[in-house]
Structure 1
Amino acid sequence: MEEIDRDDDSKEGKLRRWVANLQLESWQLELLITGFSIFLLASGIDEYENIRARINFNKLVATQDNTVIFAAAGKAILGTIPYVIQFFLISLLLHLLLRGFWIGIVGLSSVSNTIDYDKLNLKGPFKKYIPKRVRTLDDLIFYLDQVSSVIFAYTYLIVFSIISVVLVGCFLFIFIGTINFITGTFGMSSVASLGIVLIMILFVLLFIGAIVFFLDSILFSAFKKSKWFSVIFFPIYRVFSVLSLSFIYRSIYYHLITNFKRKHIVSVTLVLVAVAVATTRLNSWDRHTFFPGDGVHNARVIETSFYDDERKSRFVYSASIPSKVVKESFLPLFVRYSPSMNMSLAFFCPDAQGINDKTTLRESIEAGVQSQFDSTKTVVELLQKDNVSAENLISIIDCIESTFEVKVDGELIDLDFSFAYHPNENEKGFLQMIDLEAFARGKHVITVSHFEYQGAPFLGEVTRERFKMTQLAEIVFWKE
Structure 2
Amino acid sequence: MNTDYRTPSFKRFLDALQQQSWELELLLSGFVLYGLFNAIEPLREQGAIANYIGNELSVFSHSLALVSVYILIFNLITHIILRGLWIGSLGLRYVSGDINYEKLNYSKKFEKHLAKNIGPFDRYIANLENYCSIIFALTFLLIFYFFSFFIVLAINSILLHTLITSKGYPDWLQVLSVIIFMVLNLGGIIVFIDFITQGLLKKNKWVSKLYFPIYWVFSFITFSFLYRALTYNFLDNKFGKRIIFFLLPIYIIIALIVNIEYSNTNYFNDLETSNNVFAHKNSYRDMLTKKQDMPGKMVIPSKLIQNNYLEITLPYSKDLDDLVFNFDSILKPEIDKRGIRTELFNLTINNSDSSMANSKKLSSLRKKYLKVFNQMHYFTIDGVMRDADFIATTDERDLLGFITYLNIRDLNEGNHVINLVRKKKEKDSLVVTVEETIPFWYFKS
TM-score of Structure 1 vs Structure 2, range by shorter chain:
0.7 to 0.9
Q: Tell whether 2:94 aligns with 1:110.
A: yes
User: What are the equivalent positions in structure 2 for 1:373-452 lying under 5 Å apart?
Assistant: 385-387=359-361, 395-422=368-395, 424-450=396-422
Distance 1:117 1:170, change over 3 A: same
Q: Compute the displacement of 1:235 (Å).
A: 1.6
Q: Are the equivalent residues in 1 in contact too, given 2:83–2:129 (CA < 8 A)?
A: yes
Look up the SS of the partner of 1:160 in the other structure.
helix
Q: How does 1:82-97 map to 2 (within 5 A)?
A: 82-97=66-81
Looking at structure 2, the residues matched to 236 and 125 of structure 1 have their Cα atoms a distance apart, in angstroms, of 58
Give a deviation string over 1:345-364, Cα, whole Å, max 9, x none. Answer: 3452746969x9xxx9x999
Instruction: Determine whether 1:220 maps to 2:165.
Output: no
Residue in structure 2 matching 1:161, options 135, 145, 149: 145
One-letter identity of the residue aligned with 1:447 = N
Match of 2:119 among 119, 135, 151: 135
TM-score, normalising length: structure 1: 0.75
Deviations 1:314-358, CA, capped at 9 Å, x for gaps: 34343322211112211111222234433333452746969x9xx
In structure 2, the partner of 1:35 is 30
CA deviations 1:159-210 (Å, max 9, x no partner) are 433454455456556656655445x4699xxx99x959x948x766654433
Relative distance call for 1:392 and 1:156 in structure 2 (3 A) is closer
1:100 & 1:452 partners in 2: Cα distance? 64
- Superposed displacement of residue 91, structure 1: 1.4
1:458 corresponds in structure 2 to none
Q: How many residues align?
A: 426
Map of 1:345 onto structure 2: 324
Q: Can you list the C-alpha shifts for 1:367-397, whole angstroms capped at 9, x where unaligned?
A: 6xx9xxxxxxxxxx979942576x8865553
CA-based RMSD: 4.0
8 Å CA contact 1:73, 1:170 repeated in 2: no
Letter in 2 for 1:411: V
- Residue of structure 1 aligned with 2:21, choices 12, 23, 26: 26
Whichever residue aligns with residue 440 of structure 1, its letter is N
Opposite residue 21 of structure 2, the aligned amino acid is: S
Alpha-carbon displacement from aligned partner over 1:24-73 (angstroms, at most 9, x marks no partner): 22211211122222233223312322233345556xx5xxxxxxxxx543
Confirm or deny: 8 A CA contact 2:194 2:201 kept in the other structure: yes
Letter in 1 for 2:307: E
- Is the counterpart of residue 304 in structure 1 residue 281 in structure 2? yes
Structure 1 CA distance for aligned equivalents of residues 178 and 272 of structure 2: 38
Structure 1 residue 325 corresponds to structure 2 residue 320: no
| 8 Å CA contact retained: 2:2, 2:10 | no
Shift of 1:453: 8.0
One-letter amino acid of the counterpart of residue 322, structure 2? M
Shift of 1:101: 0.9
State yes or no: 1:289 paired with 2:266. Answer: yes
**Residues 427, 248 of structure 1: alpha-carbon distance in 2 compared, 3 angstrom cutoff:** same
Please tell me whether residue 47 in structure 1 is matched to residue 10 in structure 2.
Answer: no
Structure 2, unaligned runs of 5 or more? 338-342
Counterpart of 2:413, as a letter, is R
How far is the alpha carbon of 1:307 from its aligned partner?
1.7
CA distance 1:448–1:245, change in 2 (3 Å): farther
Structure 1 residue 294, shift from structure 2 partner: 4.9
SS, match of residue 402 in structure 1: helix
Distance 1:398 1:10 in 2: 73
**Is the contact made by 1:319 and 1:336 (CA closer than 8 Å) also made in structure 2?**
yes
Provide closer, same or farther for how the CA distance between residues 175 and 451 of structure 1 changes in structure 2, counting only shifts above 3 A. Answer: farther
Q: Distance in 2 between matches of 1:28 and 1:84?
A: 25
- Residues 226-375 of structure 1: pairs in structure 2 closer than 5 A: 226-261=204-239, 264-277=242-255, 279-280=257-258, 283-295=260-272, 297-313=274-290, 314-347=293-326, 348=328, 350=330
Instruction: Judge conservation of contact 1:349–1:399 (CA < 8 Å) in 2.
Output: no
Instruction: Mark the CA change 1:275 to 1:195 in structure 2 (over 3 Å): closer, same or farther.
Output: closer
